[in-house]
Amino acid sequence: MLNYYGIIMGIFVLILTGLGHVFVIKGEYYFGIKIWILFLIIGILGIVFSLLTKNIILSGFLGILAFTFLWGILEVFKQKKRVANGWFPKKK
């Protein structure tokens, strides 16, 4: 029997990383760098729920989601610099 867990987790990583980029760009645009607090809360909750979930696939999804948002904190501050450099539009 084939084990599909790795493929499923890989798909989760691909999708959540892509969405993470969108969340960082849009979050910084509309809320500025103060959005990092929400990213931290989502990250911590994701870790906690990942540890408490018995389902392997759901636990993996929550863990990937958590660390995507935690990584997003760094990216929000980098996004501010990218906007200052003119690489992304600034909110008027």
pTM over 0.85: yes
pLDDT reported for residue 1:
86
Q: Does 2 have pLDDT greater than 90?
A: no
Dihedral sign, CA of 27, 31, 32, 33?
negative
Q: Does 73 have pLDDT greater than 90?
A: yes
Domain-wise residue ranges, the chain: 5-84
pLDDT digits (tens, 9 = 90+) for 11-59: 999 999 999 999 999 999 999 999 999 999 999 999 999 999 999 999 9
Amino acid at 63: G
